[in-house]
Structure 1
């Protein structure tokens, strides 16, 4: 079984993915970590040195590679992954289940503000600019995320509750 989690940055894809994979017996792969391992360079450095266009091409190659080479896995994508090129088509074609982890803008802003340095797209914004940026950005990306087989409303729910909900949908 191949399960892919999509959603905006800080929506909980990695946290939910790790626990869910463990509980249902799948290998967990975080696409950003996979890219960093393959390139021996951080995403942050790739963005700085080679730019976003280079990164997005690389991200597509790595997405396709991991989804076609592995028999089964639980894959957590980067927030922008489904929104570029044919990535969402690739996810839908090569996975059994795709799940959009959905959260309101205010919750995303609160989470992102705590980890801005690790987020290349927002690291140079001040906290007052975050709500507008996240709101506009999420509006642009939501249609891609919404193509996932399932949408999971994550507002006010713990990781354990979310994992239980996803397991119900999968099993």
Structure 2
């Protein structure tokens, strides 16, 4: 059995689209961190930012990540974390505690895309993306700025996949293949059924 598959990456790189598809193909549960936050807060992420600020949102995000990665249920085969596909927000890896918790829980797959592709995908939804409206810059300029700010954080991921020129089905293929190759190195049952690394 394999560890959790954790999807992260910049906004509009395909996390929310490919996550449920990957989960269905693997037969695993899908959990979206942002959706959990919205459900618990009873308001959209944009509204959380507007009402309480980014620091409050990041605290909520940290709590949800800690809860999901602290799940004590274990795989009966390898005794590792129970399989699950978890999609995170684009800024989750900026927090050291989130990064450490997610690394312990599974394999982090960071989806990327060219800035121009992200700008086209975001389209008219900018107002629902609080980080894009800061600074009064053009959408493309702000995307490039945020990508530069987050480059080191995203580099912490175990795997990086560029979604720019892939369909959702193709992206799912890439994610599953890369995850399987990486996870196989983490959880390999030995002949006597005891986990080996």
Match of 1:152 in 2: 161
Matches within 5 A, 1:2-17: 2-17=4-19
Cα shift readout 1:86-145 (whole Å, capped 9, x = no counterpart): 2222211222x110111111101111233112212224677x711111101101101111
1:115 aligns with 2:115: no
Structure 2: how far apart are the matches of 1:66 and 1:22? 19
The number of residue pairs the alignment matches comes to 169
Match of 2:145 in 1: 136
Cα shift readout 1:43-68 (whole Å, capped 9, x = no counterpart): 22211111111111111111111122
1:92 aligns with 2:103: yes
Match of 2:43 in 1: 41
Structure 2 counterpart of 1:55, from 54, 57, 61: 57
For structure 2, which runs of at least 5 residues remain unmatched after alignment? 74-81, 181-197
- Does the 8 Å CA contact 2:132/2:143 hold for their aligned counterparts? no
Structural RMSD (CA): 1.7
Structure 1 counterpart of 2:90, from 33, 58, 79: 79
Structure 2: how far apart are the matches of 1:37 and 1:125? 29
Structure 2: how far apart are the matches of 1:140 and 1:117? 21
Structure 1: how far apart are the matches of 2:54 and 2:164? 30
Structure 2: how far apart are the matches of 1:121 and 1:130? 10
Q: Which has the larger radius of gyration?
A: 2
Cα shift readout 1:62-83 (whole Å, capped 9, x = no counterpart): 1111122263311111111111
**Stretch deviating more after TM superposition (106-115 or 136-145):** 106-115
Structure 1: how far apart are the matches of 2:131 and 2:98? 19
